[in-house]
């Protein structure tokens, strides 16, 4: 029979708990602006909320007219602004361990004194770690919603955006349309030219789709050689026109395969959101329209008519 070592337990003394309670109450209720700032920043990973907290706490100690923050997060610019600017400004790059987490700019009508600039730097020093965490959280979220090959949103992102679009369409009685696209005979591209060329074709297709739509529209990699395009404020005929423009743009692509030129075509299925229709039913109708396009010879567009 094995000897089981006994676990030594230490008893917490009442004075230790009292000291802990006193420290917590001091931390929770301290009038010190830096402690209050870090305490408030620790309650959220929303970068926008954190910057609002920073602006509020900073303004309480050092008056300013405008605060602006800018950072490149993945493939998009994140911009936060509050207040109206003045002629005098101070600007700080938020660096931590050799990595920049954005640029913070303060403006006001009166020049900042040296003491005020030192105070601003103290606030930034207290805020930079929570801001770093919020930036990293956004990066993780973006990675989870981005296709690694084409760098466009993936099916998970599409599912989320379709749910939101369905709700907005019903709530505001607005038209939303969905296009599902599928590269024709893509398996033969991989078989004849290899997956490296196939991947290059997928990246070029994603870029071509993005160039053929408006800034308000969104392109997604639906899976394999399939793509999806979400069109807000777009009816059935407009969506068909976009699909035809997409089809023409993809047909114009040429891939140099080392002495030979490769071109591809794409088939499109269109469906406009119906009242009280869920995202899955909406996708199913667009997929049915895409199936019809493939069945009618490919390199064409078919619409799942919302009436009749």
Q: What's the helix, strand, coil split of the chain in %, to 5?
A: 50, 25, 30
Helix (H, G, I), strand (E, B) or coil at 219: strand
List all residues 6 or more positions away from 203 whose beta carbon is below 8 Å from its beta carbon.
149, 150
Q: Residue 93 forms beta bridges with which residues?
A: 103
**3-state SS, residue 258:** coil
Residue 12: how many other CB atoms lie within 10 Å? 9
Question: CA 146 to CA 220: how far, in whole Å?
Answer: 9
Q: Which helix (H) or strand (E) holds 85?
A: none
Burial 32-42 (b: 16+ CB within 10 A, else e): ebbebbbebbe
Neighbours of 5 (CB within 10 A): 6
Q: Is 225 a known active-site residue?
A: yes
Give the Cα separation of 104 and 66 in Å (integer): 11
Catalytic entry in 121, 225, 226, 288: 225
Radius of gyration over every alpha carbon of the chain, rounded to an integer in angstroms: 28
CA distances from 139 to 23, 104, 134, 216 (A): 35, 19, 9, 22
CA distances from 163 to 105, 179, 229, 280 (A): 37, 15, 14, 9
Q: Could you give the C-alpha distances from 251 to 78, 108, 245, 259, 269, in angstroms and in order?
A: 35, 54, 10, 20, 16
Active site residues: 225
């Amino acid at each position: 029979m094995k000897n089981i070592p006994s676990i030594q337990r230490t008893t917490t003394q009442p004075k230790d708990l009292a000291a802990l309670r006193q420290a917590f109450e001091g931390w929770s209720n301290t009038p010190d602006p830096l402690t209050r700032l870090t305490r408030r920043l620790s309650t959220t990973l929303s970068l926008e909320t954190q910057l609002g907290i920073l602006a509020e706490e900073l303004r309480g100690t050092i008056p300013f007219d405008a605060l602006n923050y800018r950072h490149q997060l993945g493939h998009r610019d994140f911009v936060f602004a509050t207040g109206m600017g003045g002629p005098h400004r101070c600007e700080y790059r938020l660096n931590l361990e050799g990595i920049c987490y954005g640029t913070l700019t303060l403006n006001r009508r009166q020049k900042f004194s040296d003491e005020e600039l030192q105070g601003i730097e103290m606030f930034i020093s207290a805020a930079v770690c929570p801001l770093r965490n919020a930036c990293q959280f956004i990066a993780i979220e973006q990675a989870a919603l981005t296709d690694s090959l084409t760098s466009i949103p993936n099916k998970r992102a599409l599912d989320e955006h379709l749910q939101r679009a369905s709700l907005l369409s019903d709530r505001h009685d607005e038209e939303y349309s969905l296009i599902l696209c599928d590269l024709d005979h893509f398996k033969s591209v991989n078989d004849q030219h290899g997956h490296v060329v196939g991947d290059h074709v997928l990246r070029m297709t994603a870029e071509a789709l993005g160039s053929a739509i408006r800034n308000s529209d969104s392109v997604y990699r639906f899976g394999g050689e399939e793509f999806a395009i979400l069109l807000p404020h777009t009816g059935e005929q407009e969506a068909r026109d976009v699909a035809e423009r997409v089809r023409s743009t993809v047909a114009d692509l040429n891939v140099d395969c080392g002495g030979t030129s490769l071109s591809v075509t794409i088939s499109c299925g269109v469906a406009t959101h119906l009242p009280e229709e869920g995202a899955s039913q909406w996708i199913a109708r667009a997929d049915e329209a895409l199936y019809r396009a493939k069945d009618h010879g490919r390199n064409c567009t078919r619409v799942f008519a919302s009436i009749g």
